[in-house]
Amino acid sequence: MKNLLQYAKQLSPNCREATWFYSRSLDGAVPLSARLGTRIHLLLCKRCRRYSRQTLFLRAACRRIQNSRPPKPHFAMPAEMRSSLQARLRQEMEKM
Ligand SMILES: [Zn+2]
């Protein structure tokens, strides 16, 4: 068992390489040996597992945002109110 663990560690890239390979594997082809090494690394490294979960979460969130339509406003601001508000904001920004 100890030899198997040592062999797995030899196949595993370091954290920086593993996260780089992991990110690249989501976007495109990564050589099989790198994918295998990264998988082994993720089994052994808690921090990189967390990184991979966070990366998947962010990726899914970005896709949801990208695919969602902006919500329809419940009301339309009258044009006069809009221009008045814009003018007021400009005045405030000029003070800064
Ligand atoms: Zn790691």
Please identify which residue in the block is written with the tokens 């005045």: 91
Tell me 96's DSSP state. -
Domain presence at residue 77: no
pLDDT value for 53 = 96
Residue 1: what pLDDT? 67
- How many domains, in total, are found in the chain? 1
Task: Report, as an integer, the average pLDDT of 1-18.
Answer: 83
Residue 9's pLDDT is 77
In a domain, 89, yes or no: no
50 lies in some domain: yes
Query: Of the candidates 36, 38, 33, which has an alpha carbon nearest to the alpha carbon of residue 19?
Result: 38
- In terms of Cα–Cα distance, which of 61, 1, 96, 71 is closest to 53? 61
Q: Which residues are placed with Cβ below 5 angstroms of ligand 1, an ion? A: 15, 45, 48
Q: E strand or H helix at 15, and its extent?
A: helix 15-27
The answer to the question of residue 92 being in a domain is no
Distance (Å, whole) CA 4 – CA 8: 6
Does residue 46 fall inside a structural domain?
yes
The string of pLDDT tens digits covering residues 22-42 is: 999 988 888 998 999 999 999
Q: What is the residue range of 12's domain?
A: 1-67
Which tokens belong to 49? 């597992």
Q: What is the pLDDT of residue 10?
A: 79
> What's the CA-to-centroid distance between 15 and ligand 1, angstroms?
4
Instruction: Tell me, yes or no, whether 85 lies in a domain.
Output: no
How far, in Å, is the centroid of ligand 1 from the Cα of 70?
A: 38
The answer to whether position 72 is within a domain reads no
- Angle in degrees, 0-180, between the axes of helices 46-67 and 32-44, rounded to the nearest 10: 110
pLDDT digits 0-9 by tens, 43-94: 999 999 999 999 999 999 999 998 887 777 777 888 899 999 999 999 999 9
